[in-house]
């Protein structure tokens, strides 16, 4: 299954995947470190959303947001923490 989302710096994909795995593991989800994108199926199952591999066009925007929101939101919070730490140590 090809990724349809594009990141601004393609070279950062691996680091983002590692961060996603680490953050979601800290939240208590079982994460396959070789394929951290699969954590979305764990989140969907927990929330009772019928997410499947492949086409999910029958999901509502609300359902999709309940899966992607916790993942993306956790990653954004982690990036903000990282930026704040960097600013603290800047002369």
pLDDT one-digit tens code per residue, 65-77: 999 998 889 999 9
Q: At what angle do helices 39-47 and 61-88 cross, to 10 degrees?
A: 120
Q: Are 84 and 33 in contact (CB under 8 A)?
A: no
How confident is the model over 37-63, as pLDDT tens digits? 888 998 999 999 999 988 998 999 999
Please report the pLDDT score of residue 5 as a whole number.
Answer: 65
Share of the chain above pLDDT 70, in %: 95
φ, ψ at 67 (rounded to 5°): -90, -55
For residue 40, what are its two tokens?
């979305």
| CA 52 distance to own-chain centroid | 16
Number of domains in the chain: 1
- Report the alpha-carbon distance of residue 14 to residue 2 in Å, rounded: 15
Structural domain includes residue 1 = no
Domain that holds residue 24: 10-88
Note whether residue 24 is domain-resident.
yes
Residue 20 belongs to a domain: yes
């Amino acid at each position: 299954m090809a990724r349809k989302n594009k990141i601004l710096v393609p070279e950062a994909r691996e680091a983002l995947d590692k961060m996603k795995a680490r953050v979601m593991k800290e939240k208590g989800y079982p994460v396959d470190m070789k394929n951290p994108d699969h954590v979305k199926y764990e989140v969907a199952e927990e929330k009772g959303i019928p997410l499947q591999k492949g086409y999910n066009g029958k999901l509502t925007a609300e359902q999709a947001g309940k899966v992607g929101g916790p993942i993306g939101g956790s990653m954004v919070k982690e990036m903000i923490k990282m930026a704040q730490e960097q600013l603290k140590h800047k002369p």
